[in-house]
Amino acid sequence: MDSHRLDELMTAKLSGTLDEAGQRELTELLQQHPEWAQELALLEEYWNAVPAAEAPAAIVFSEMMAKAAQPAATENTRTLHWWKWAAAAAVIGLLCTLSYRLWHNVATGREIVETRNGERRQFRLSDGSIVHMNASSRLAFDLNTRSREIWLEGEAYFEVAKDAARPFVVHAATLNIHALGTAFNVKAYPGEGRCETTLLEGAVEVYLDKTPAHRVRLRPYEKVAYDNNNAIASPEKILEIKPVISKTVMAKAVALPAIDSTVSETAWVSNRLQFESLNFEQLATLLERWYGVQITFRNNNVKKYVFSGSFASETVTQALQALQLTEEFHFENNGTQIIIY
């Protein structure tokens, strides 16, 4: 095997320029050589873990603007009549009012980012925190000098830049997650009646809108799920902590990367769709979001099939074909519409 060809394929894979034929070639190679697959997995992890660039100190911007404000033209030394001064003062006053209004609107306005079905995004906030957004999600954020607040509908993974002076708070449905320098996942799709957060690194405190005093503190690899239907139970019961990986796995794992692909809650961040014991109907919802397709069932028995597994670079057709290996069903794919029977 030509090692240069492998480098080429891996490079294309990493930079997202691999075409279908290349993907097939690579998959085949990796199946024959699991050690290369392991290398590629580590390189992908590395590739995606771009260090957060810190925003410069505020003074850097001020100094630059001061430079920009220096007049280029020579001063006009003509004397002005008093009424011209008065007119100028009035205009300046008006401008100040206008710009204050504009500024005020801009300052209080939240910035909004949205993803469609089948779309995932990664970006950096102005404080240096990194956000990975899963499909069909909506994020509003307000970063100011005192706080960093995020409103989430859908699912996102946060790598929070440390800034003790400005708490980082995520509001999702009625759940609030309060973080200081940490990495965690929040899932709160409207209509699912369930909201959950999983901590990978650092520490977060979770509390409900109506019981802000009752805070649950999570340790890494724990998650808390809040069920809307359960809303009358005591906070202790509602915010029940569950480990997401077994203790033995944790003990063995010497080197857990920041985005841990063994945890299914955050596999999507590494572009993997991972699921455990979901019935086909639930899985269809995930597939719809992931691939940006619509799935309808024509056979109710099929809905009850239960699947576990993960997909990475597969197309939706390949994914369904893989599912056909475990359970018997048929499907038709008309591009964005898929019928399962």
Partner 1 sequence: MPGIDIQAMWDTVYRTDDQQSFRNLFNHFYTGLVRFATDLSISREAAEEIVSDVFVQLWKNRKQDDPIVHIKTYLFTAVRNRCYNHHRDQYKHQWLELEEEEAPLTGDVHPQLEWKEMQLWLDKAIGTLSPQGRTIFRLVREEGFKYKEVAAILEISPRTVETQLVRATSRLRQALQHYGHGLDQKIPAR
By the criterion CB under 8 A, which residues form the site for partner 1? 3-4, 7-8, 10-11, 14-15, 17, 39, 42-43, 45-47, 49-50, 53-56, 60-61, 63-65, 67-68, 72, 102-103, 106-107, 111, 113, 121-126, 131, 133, 254-258
The CA-based angle 332-264-9, given to 5 degrees, is 70
**What are the counts of helices (DSSP H) followed by strands (DSSP E) for the chain?**
9, 18
Find the shortest distance in angstroms from Cβ 313 to partner 1: 17
Taking CA 131 as the corner, what is the angle to CA 137 and CA 214, rounded to the nearest 5 degrees? Answer: 80
Cβ-based nearer residue to partner 1, 113 or 180? 113
What is the smallest separation between the CB atom of 30 and partner 1, expressed in angstroms? Answer: 13
Give the tokens for residue 253: 């794992």
| Nearer to partner 1 (CB atom), residue 251 or residue 255 | 255
Helices (H), 270-314: 280-291
CB of 182 to partner 1, least distance (A): 15
Token pair listed for 281: 């109907």
Supply 11's token pair: 């490079």
Say which DSSP state 289 is in. Answer: H
Rg (CA), the chain: 26
CB of 113 to partner 1, least distance (A): 6
CB of 71 to partner 1, least distance (A): 11
Q: Which is nearer to partner 1, 46 or 341 (CB)?
A: 46
Q: Beta 222-227 vs 183-188: how paired, if at all? A: unpaired
CB nearer to partner 1: give 9 or 239. Answer: 9
C-beta of 1 vs 65, nearer to partner 1: 65
Instruction: Give least dist CB 26 to partner 1, A.
Output: 12
Least separation in angstroms between residue 170's CB and partner 1 is 16
Angstrom distance (rounded) from CA 151 to CA 138? 8
* Residue closer to partner 1 (CB basis): 81 or 252: 252
Sign, CA dihedral 65-68-70-76, equals negative
User: By C-beta, is 67 or 210 nearer to partner 1?
Assistant: 67
Q: Is 168 exposed, middle or buried (0-12, 13-18, 19+ CB in 10 A)?
A: buried
Q: Are 268 and 120 a contacting pair, CB within 8 Å?
A: yes
* Residue 51 CA from chain centroid, whole number: 16
